Chain A
Amino acid sequence: MSYDINQTITRISEIIINELKLEDVTPQTFNPDLDLIDEVGVDSMDLATVALVLRDEYGIRIDEDDYPKLTSVRIIAQYIINKLTEKE
């Protein structure tokens, strides 16, 4: 099965916006290449929260050791697609 990265990016953006209560941005306008830590201000507890919601959404486990690598929505989307592909 192939996964649409743009669709995944939009959905992850939506989750991040909802969970972190970001204002003045929509899933469509969220820049997927923004550095979540340096430019959005996400920290480890935020990322853990998002990881739990993504676990529900996609049925994949995000290892705690992988958090530091997940620095943008695009990188998270690719990470999820890789995990889903591995599962098949």
Chain B
Amino acid sequence: MSAQPQEYKFSDIIADPRIRERWEKVRRYFFLRESTYDMSNRCNIRCEGCYYFTGEKQFAPENTDENAWRQLLQSEKERGITFAVLAGAEPSLVPNLCAICYQVIPLGAIATNGLKAIPREIDYRIHISAWGNDQTSQAIRRAPNMLARQMVNYKDDPRAVFVYTFTPGNIDEAREVTKLLADNGQHITFNMFSAPVGYQGYLRHTPETLGKTRETMDELLTEYPQTVLFSTYNIVAHTDKLGLHDLFSCSYPRMNPSTDIGLGRSFRQYRTDLQWDRDAACCVPDTDCTDCRHYAAGSAVVTARMYRHATDPVTFSAWLDYVDTYLAVWVRGYDKGLNLCNTFISPPPTN
């Protein structure tokens, strides 16, 4: 005879002082409402598997009118957007437009390849993409000495966090890159290569590479807890054989028809012509949704599923770790706490 699993009240779960403290810490940021903006249709490098140069958005004309950008961000603020994510193709090529975004919406993040420093007065979180060691970057991104140049550009810069994208070919190199960044006082978080629509190239993960990535992430999180902004539950969510949509039901408009509440209501993804299309709107458009394990997607999709994680103290702690990580990676000035749950748990089932 098997024992019935204990049913917890939410008040019982948060009665634990460590859980309550973390819950009170993260819930102060529930006001964040994001939208994303492609800043330029140009990039100074061209990477294998780049999401930006897939699909229609790459052909949108570039609007460089500062007044148009200011008006757009102002209208975004008025409809409740509190967090701006500046992405494709390469925002550092238009620092004047990034500055306008920061002036109007003071919380945000910029995804950059890090080869051109973004002026310090733009006080957003800066996500610097890393795809392996310099040899691999040369092969995949066709740019020499990437890490060395990125580290010089963002040395002692509290805005910076390196985002290491695991592909089947660079799993072992993560050790070398993480050590290098740790030795230089930088922070790193992890991303998973998620295939663009139609992509059948060698960067697409397999069950074997997902498993190997999981082991490597766990090893690095244990060895470099001050450098790696991640949690055990992040590892679970991003290396499962199922993608984020199948695990958690993606809440971005592209996969969520509801316009009543949450991301389905507020999120927009603007192209460089300042237009947006609900059918394409998600954090990384033109990703194959069945293969999506993007760190950006998880930050919203896993976070939104609080209710289903509030089943017991361990599961809720894992969710809190995930949200604490997401906030530390995305929000300037937010300090990550120690992870509460260091065991691998299964994501809870849907309703």
A residues near B (Cβ < 8 Å) are: 37, 43-49, 51-53, 55-56, 62-65, 67-69, 71
- C-alpha gap A49/B259 in the complex (Å): 20
Residue pair A56, B308 in contact (C-beta under 8 Å): no
Residue pair B307, A48 in contact (C-beta under 8 Å): yes
Pick the residue among A45, A48, A53, A65 that contacts B351 (CB under 8 A): A65
What B residues does A53 contact at CB under 8 A? 10-11
What B residues does A46 contact at CB under 8 A? 30
Residue pair A47, B261 in contact (C-beta under 8 Å): yes
Q: Name the CB-closest residue of A to B31.
A: A43
Max chain B C-beta neighbours (<10 A), residue from A52, A62, A71: A52
Residue pair A37, B260 in contact (C-beta under 8 Å): yes
B residues near A (Cβ < 8 Å) are: 9-11, 27, 30, 33, 251, 258, 260-263, 265-266, 303-308, 310, 350-351
Q: Name the CB-closest residue of A to B266.
A: A43
Q: How far is the CB of B319 from chain A (nearest CB, A)?
A: 11
What A residues does B265 contact at CB under 8 A? 37
Residue pair B307, A52 in contact (C-beta under 8 Å): yes
- C-alpha gap A55/B13 in the complex (Å): 13
Residue pair A44, B261 in contact (C-beta under 8 Å): yes
- C-alpha gap A69/B10 in the complex (Å): 22
Residue pair A45, B11 in contact (C-beta under 8 Å): no
What B residues does A48 contact at CB under 8 A? 304, 306-307
- C-alpha gap A51/B10 in the complex (Å): 10
- C-alpha gap A44/B303 in the complex (Å): 11
Residue pair B260, A45 in contact (C-beta under 8 Å): no
- C-alpha gap A43/B81 in the complex (Å): 12
> Are A63 and B351 also in contact (CB < 8 A) when A45-B306, A46-B30 are?
yes
- C-alpha gap A43/B258 in the complex (Å): 13
What B residues does A49 contact at CB under 8 A? 27, 30, 306
Max chain B C-beta neighbours (<10 A), residue from A37, A43, A44: A44
